[in-house]
Amino acid sequence: MTGQIGSTVMIHPSAIISSQAEIAPDAEIGPFCIVEAGTQIGSGCRLVANVSVRTGTVLGSESTVYEGAILGGLPQIANQPTNPGNLVIGKRNVLREHCTLHRAIHEGNSTTLGDDCLLMVGAHVAHDCQVGNHVILTNGAMLGGHVEIGDRACLGGNSAVHQFCRIGRLVMVGACTKVVQDIPPFVLTDGATALIVGLNRVGLRRAGLSRQEILDLKAAYRLIYRHGLSFQETLQVLQEQFPTGVASEFATFFQGGERGFVQERRSPPRIALRVHPAVDEIDEEESSPVPRRLAG
């Protein structure tokens, strides 16, 4: 392909830009950036510094990429493909320092990131992932290959998602969660146990869901996790009672996937004993700056 670099593009002298790259006229390329052939950088984009945009990458308009990020790296697999796929990033995304997003394995396929997403420091999106709009990946969050993330999902810091898992829209994943099964939409997971602990009520309100929609989700949630029905019975009742509306998304989600579904946490996790002064030593310790003994 023949590249096209707008005459008004602000390119730092230390940046290395292929003549086969397509860069919008009002983009800004900071110091020590590398933009390879076969890439597209949209209008209003800004590469702050030391950003690598590899072949096969499309960066949507008004996106900002910070220091050390690598877009379009080859898939991390043992047998590297001869003709890998692409990485397609939507509009108005913010990719903070040292994010990595990789191309799809096979030619004709794409790893995709939607619009208005925020990827914080060190977030990783592996090959063939499909990430929706308004998604937040907090510091160190990692997606394995072929993971699907629904719109407005938020993954806590250092959470890790196993390959081929799906996370529904408006899910909140707690920090350090190890996700090895699909998480249905609208729920909140606990980082300590990686289990569901209820609906993501804060996220639902922020997304503008009506009171009735939230009530429907509560009813569907109780049906799924509290009625003791079999999977097929649950699916049938969901389809009968919630044929339309947001609650119908539960049944749709449960009909897909291949890794099973995360379960609900029915009792509080075991917690560490509190460390406190022994009762018979409180008076003595009040007069001493350093307690002699702590009791569990």
Q: Rounded to an integer, what distance in angstroms lies between the CA atom of residue 71 and that of residue 57?
A: 7
Is-catalytic flag, 102? Answer: no
Q: Rounded to an integer, what distance in angstroms lies between the CA atom of residue 113 and that of residue 91?
A: 9
E strand or H helix at 284, and its extent? helix 282-286
Contacts of 118 (CB under 8 A, 6+ apart): 93, 94, 96, 135, 136, 137
CB atoms within 10 A of CB 137: 31
Please tell me what DSSP assigns to residue 280: G
Two tokens at 56? Answer: 């096969």
Is-catalytic flag, 228? Answer: no
Q: Rounded to an integer, what distance in angstroms lies between the CA atom of residue 136 and that of residue 271?
A: 29
Catalytic residue among 127, 168, 174, 203: 127
Q: Rounded to an integer, what distance in angstroms lies between the CA atom of residue 242 and that of residue 6?
A: 52
Catalytic residue among 56, 60, 114, 145: 145
Q: Look up residue 123 and give its amino acid.
A: A
Is-catalytic flag, 108? Answer: no
Catalytic residue among 115, 128, 151, 216: 128
Q: Which amino acids are annotated catalytic?
A: 127-128, 145
